[in-house]
Amino acid sequence: MTDRTTSERVAVDQTAEELTLREVARELDDAGLCPLPVKEDGSKAPDVRSWTPYKTTRSTPEEHDRWFGDGRRTGIGAVMGGVSGNVELIEFEGRAIVEGLLDEVTELAENSGLGELWQAVTTGWADQSPSGGVHFKVVVDGRPAAGNQKLASRPAREDEYTDQERQRLREKPNSKIVRVLIETRGEGGFVVIAPSHGAVHPSGKPYVRISGGPSTMPVLGPEDLDAVYALCRAVDALPQEEKAKTAPRPKRELPPGAVRPGDDFEAKADWPEIIGDDFDPIFTRGQVTYWRRKGKSRGISATTGYAKDRDRLYVFSTSTAFEAETPYDKFAAYTLLTQGATTLSAFKQAAGELRRRGYGSEPTRRRLTVVSSQFSDGSSALDPDIAPDETEDQGARLRVAGQRPELDITNEAEAIEGILAVMAAEQLPGLYKRSSGPCWVFTDDQGNPLVKQLGTDNLRAYLAEYVLTYAVVPDPITQGLKEERALVMPKTCGTILGRRDWPLMPLRGIVTAPVVRPDGTIVQAVGYDRLTGLYMHPKVPLRRLQADVTEESVERAKKVVLGQMLADFPFVADSDRAQYLGALLSPIIRHYVPGPTPLLVITGTSQGSGKTLLMDAFGYIYGLAVTQWPENDAELRKAVTAKLWDCGDPVIAMDNLPNGHVIKSPILSSLATSATWSDRLLGSTSSVTIPNDRLWVLTGNNLSTGGDNARRTLWVRLDPNCPNPDQRDNFTVGDLRQWLEENASTVVAALVTMVRGWLAAGGKTITTRMGDYSRWASTVAGILDYLDVPGWLANRDAATATMDDETLEWAAFLTAWYSTPELNARTVTTKELLGLKDAVPRLQNGDAPSPKQLGHWLKARQGRYFENLKISLVYDTHRKQNLWRVEKYEGGR
């Protein structure tokens, strides 16, 4: 606090009552205040048209003369705040004086080291209102004057209620009727000044100056002013409800003898042991103890014991860990100081610490009674004669729990943590994860494996089956607690599914027959293979494989596959049979040789040639998903995505393409060369990336390819070379479909034996150039060479040349161009080339292209060889146009 100098404190020769209002106005103006006349209607409001301008601009002596010069007015007041030199008023209401609050605050000031400061406030400039209240004016130095504030209040007594307040209580019984005891007037406030009298106050009594005047107001810095306000707030008698953040959530009733740690701490702990490191007790008055924060030499920082309903800490200072003017009970104060917050989780942690320190007691809880059954994944139902060898090393296996895990889901956050912990402990059989979330494997009505991406309802149903979840609820019988069966809430499941990752084993694919791992070992056991992330779901019962592969077993396997199953198919050449066998072995070696495989195209010369039967053989052995050939590329992309996302069959086929169809699709080109497939799921805004680990099969009569699809195709050609081929009989195995139904397990064992024999012989590969498929082609070449099966890719060049209509058409066109002397020896325009009417490529409707269209075609194929001829572009800078030349490959030049 700073005080005015002695020279500024002018002695008052006359009392305020002896001064005229004009003289008081001059006194106020000299002290830097803004005086205004007061209405004589008891409202205590300024008597000017609008006093808003005077909140920022002081009134002038000329206005004072006009208002008060004639001596007829009876009221004068002053605007508080910045316009009057940063003045604030502290008002003790008349009822506060009667109830002794001024004496109580004075005692608090003296006991807290603020006696001198308080004396300066009360003797600097004080007026008494007609109602008995006292107004103290101070000058604020170091910060702007604050707005009006209520420092202390109390609930109104029933005998004080007005008629309007009684009516409000009748309408809203929970309304709070308050009587203000101490308040301030600051920025934007107005106060009546002595010697106002007459009708200015409703009582007609005068305002009386009881000490000092405008020139003797004390000047208070921010710290002193806050200390004065804290003194006044210390006598506030209005009950303060604990805010949600400083009080634990509503408590459920406990049975007799049970005590919460927080309640026990509340009853046993003393405030000094809780806040003794932050506050020092100053003095105690009645039940109230006044505290000062450490490092502060005077003033009151907090009180305890003031509230009548509960012993709480109430802090005035803003320089502590506590929120100012917010009540804290002992448990809340302990939680804030030990946990740094008063959130629900902080209260739980604090309660846990107190329980470990011996506070509180827990009643005996009634446990949930259930009859659990032994879990079985169904593997015991397999025929032991066709089960894998028990001595085979399959790596660590998923544990089979003797009973379902139990989980308390009373608290949602703990329920989420518990479910994730159960996942991490591998106690959820059959649940895996893909990049998009948890999933499970199931079978459709035909026994085909499918992968189901879990939604909220799926996860909730799964947890209901495999986890014993319960909530702890009050027990009306024992008055204690009991466990009650409850399902996980849908929003909890949604929160779990919304994570970025899950502590589950990854599902990298489904296999329906034994496959070779990257390390050369064989996946044989049914179910999840931890080493590869593959799930074995056999299409047919698996036969027991011999520990060692012999030459005799390999020969028997060749006889089953080549001598029986494929013996009577009308393959055009040995290469067609070899390429089909290579495709048949591909699902077994797919994970040993990662990467894409070409499209398998099975084409025949007529219906009944056996192409669909060759396709169906995949289904009998491995499982087959068939989809119709779509109308356009957009539908083709949707079909590909749907099959890759949901179905688990390793072979996907598109059967019976239109007769003579030209396979020319950028979607198939991308599919045949991509190890992964990315697309947006149908009916969803989310995109997925899926491993492209399937064999894709297309069938039809007299099929051909166009564009890039020619290089990405593995041809299998059939030609029965007879009329009515569907009437043929005398097959080696009779009805092949019936034979496959009865012998599919034998065929699978034979195919696996072929691959195992090759691996046992060293797994030699034969380098084979096939673009993106070279590694796969080299591996298959090695297996077929081991099996003495000739013809692998022997017809590739011929098939590419003869079964690619586009290549044939352009090769013929370039040959005609090169054979024409007047066109061969120079560069030519497209218009000249259109003169080759019989050889020029045609539009789809058979018409010849325009010169511009032919130019686009030529530009798209420049530099590409068709047989031994290629197109070269020569730009004519003089005529500003493209010219064209056909060139022959001379080999070595």
> Which tops the pLDDT comparison, 390 or 739?
739
> Is 621 domain-assigned?
yes
795 and 813 together in one domain = no
Same domain, 168 and 304: no
Same domain, 136 and 63: yes
Residues 883 and 810 in one domain: yes
Q: Rounded mean pLDDT of 380-398?
A: 39
CATH number at residue 721: 3.40.50
Q: What is the mean pLDDT of residues 393-413?
A: 66
What residue numbers bound the domain in which 809 lies?
804-888
| 55 & 169 share domain | yes
Burial class (CB in 10 A: 0-12, 13-18, 19+), 679: middle
CA distance 121 to 140: 12
pLDDT at 385 (0 to 100): 39
Residue 157 burial (C-beta neighbours within 10 Å; 0-12, 13-18, 19+): exposed
Q: How far is CA 827 from CA 74, 307, 809, in A?
A: 115, 105, 21
Q: Is residue 202 part of a domain?
A: yes
Evaluate whether residue 560 is within a structural domain.
yes
787 and 827, same domain (yes or no): no
Q: Model confidence over 592-618: pLDDT tens digits?
A: 998 888 999 999 888 888 889 999 999
Q: Is residue 539 part of a domain?
A: no
Residue 699 lies in a domain: yes
Sign of the CA dihedral running 629, 630, 633, 639: negative
Same domain, 412 and 274: no
Residues 96-147: tens digit of each pLDDT: 999 999 999 998 888 888 889 999 999 999 999 999 999 999 999 999 999 9
Is 90 exceeded by the pLDDT of residue 369? no
Residue 525 lies in a domain: no
Three-state DSSP string of 621-666: HCCEEEECCCCCHHHHHHHHHHHHHHECCCEEEEEEECCCCEECCH
Taking only the tens place, the pLDDT of each residue in 753-781 is 999 999 999 999 999 988 888 999 999 99
Amino acid 253: pLDDT: 65
Q: Does 373 have pLDDT greater than 50? A: no
Is 452 in the same domain as 561? no
Model pLDDT for residues 659-706, shown as the tens digit of each residue? 888 888 888 888 888 888 878 777 666 777 888 888 999 999 888 887
Residue that is last in its domain, among 233, 253, 270: 233
* pLDDT of res. 734: 87
pLDDT digits (tens, 9 = 90+) for 520-531: 999 999 999 999
Domain stop point among 304, 322, 356:
356
pLDDT digits (tens, 9 = 90+) for 556-596: 999 999 999 999 899 999 999 999 999 999 999 999 998 88
Question: Is residue 715 domain-shared with residue 791, that is, in the same domain?
Answer: yes
Exposure string for 482-494, b = 16+ CB within 10 A, e = fewer: bbeebbbeeebbe
Tell me if 822 is assigned to some domain: yes
Count: domains in the chain: 5
Locate 697 and state its tokens. 């099969």
Which of 753, 782, 800 corresponds to the end of one domain?
A: 800
Residues 24 and 147 occupy one common structural domain: yes
Report percent pLDDT > 90 for the chain: 46
693 and 596 in a common domain: yes
Q: At what angle do helices 456-466 and 490-497 cross, to 10 degrees?
A: 110
Q: For residue 259, what is the DSSP state?
A: B
Examine the domain organization and report whether 789 and 813 are in the same domain.
no
In this prediction, residues 76-82 reach a mean pLDDT of 96
Q: Is residue 843 part of a domain?
A: yes
- Tell me what the mean pLDDT of segment 651-664 comes to: 86
Strand runs labelled E in 512-572:
515-516, 522-523, 527-529, 534-536
Residue 567 dihedral angles phi and psi, to the nearest 5°:
-60, -35
pTM: 0.52
Residue 562's pLDDT is 94
